[in-house]
Structure 1
Amino acid sequence: MIELDDLDRGILRALALDGRLGAGELGRRLGLSQPAAWRRVKRLQEAGVLAGQRLVVDRAALGFGVTVFLGVKLATKGRVSLEDFERAVTAIPEVQVVQHVLGLFDYRLRVVARDIADFERVLRRRILTLPGVGQVEANVLLTEERRPGPIG
């Protein structure tokens, strides 16, 4: 585990809000030279603290106005049913995230759809027909606030 100082945490906070910031801008914001900011970012990357960059797509702008979190409990459990379910669910384009979880449900899915009718179609024709699906619980996302999370 890498030791983080206040400047490292400042870099992580700034990049969590805008991952496109260059070393020059990071340096100006944190009182560092461009080369010093670049070296710190490079050190964080090499230590695995910064693991890639992501593009955030505005789903509503693309016509996907509904996001639903599904809890899925498998009717039959066992290694074969887990692998079959995972293989089948990851092939559905509307399923954005598949999480194998511990608790009441076996999986948590993030599903996007154009509207509720489109979600119902995806649920009935694609998700409920997957191998091993037993109980399903849907929670429709109303609002979402993004936070960078804890930074050491």
Structure 2
Amino acid sequence: MIDLDETDRALIRALALDATQSAGALGRELGLSQPACWRRIKRLREAGVFRGLRLDLDREALGFGVTVFLGVKLATKGRVSLQDFERAVSAIPEVQTVEHVLGMYDYRLRVVARDISDFERVLRRRIMTLPGVGNLDANVLLSEERLPGPI
């Protein structure tokens, strides 16, 4: 774990809002020189605070109007079955996230589809045929009020 001061936290917040900002622009915003700002960014990256840059896509603009959270309970549990399931589900392009969770279900998936009939196709032909799948529970996303951001 890295020690963060207020300037580091402000830098993280600014980059979370717009990661395309230059070190010079960020430095001016935070009262730092461009080289000092660049060194802080480099230190944070090397410490693993930043795992990479990500493009935030508008799913609806790309034709994916439905998002479904799917709870998956595996029929059998063992190290091999978990790995087989994770490997297979990660290969499905419509599955945006795969979260191994504790509780009623073993996994929580975020699945996007063009519409409900497209989701049904993905569910029947891809997800329900995965190794070890037992029970499923689907929740359709109605609206998203807050997107993931900095802690």
> Would the alpha carbon gap of residues 97 and 80 (structure 1) be closer, same or farther in structure 2, given more than 3 Å must change?
same
Q: Return the letter of the residue paired with 1:84.
A: D
Q: TM-score, normalised by structure 1?
A: 0.92
Q: Return the letter of the residue paired with 1:139.
A: N
Count residues in correspondence: 150
The aligned counterpart of 1:31 is 31
The 3-state SS of whatever aligns with 1:73 is strand
Unaligned runs of 5+ in 1: none
In 1, Cα distance between equivalents of 2:99 and 2:148: 20
The aligned counterpart of 1:96 is 96
Q: CA RMSD in A?
A: 1.3
The aligned counterpart of 2:63 is 63
The 3-state SS of whatever aligns with 1:61 is coil
Q: Deviations over 1:34-89 (max 9, x none)?
A: 11111111111122112211111111111011111100001111223222222221
**Alignment map for 1:2-151 (pairs within 5 Å):** 2-144=2-144, 145-150=146-151
Q: Between 75-84 and 93-102, report the one with greater CA deviation.
A: 75-84
Report if aligned partners of 2:73, 2:134 keep a CA contact under 8 Å in 1.
Answer: yes
CA apart distance, 1:147? 4.1
The 3-state SS of whatever aligns with 1:62 is coil
In 2, Cα distance between equivalents of 1:10 and 1:55: 21
Percent identity reads 74
The 3-state SS of whatever aligns with 2:61 is helix
Unaligned runs of 5+ in 2: none
Q: TM-score, normalised by structure 2?
A: 0.93
Q: Between 96-105 and 83-92, report the one with greater CA deviation.
A: 83-92
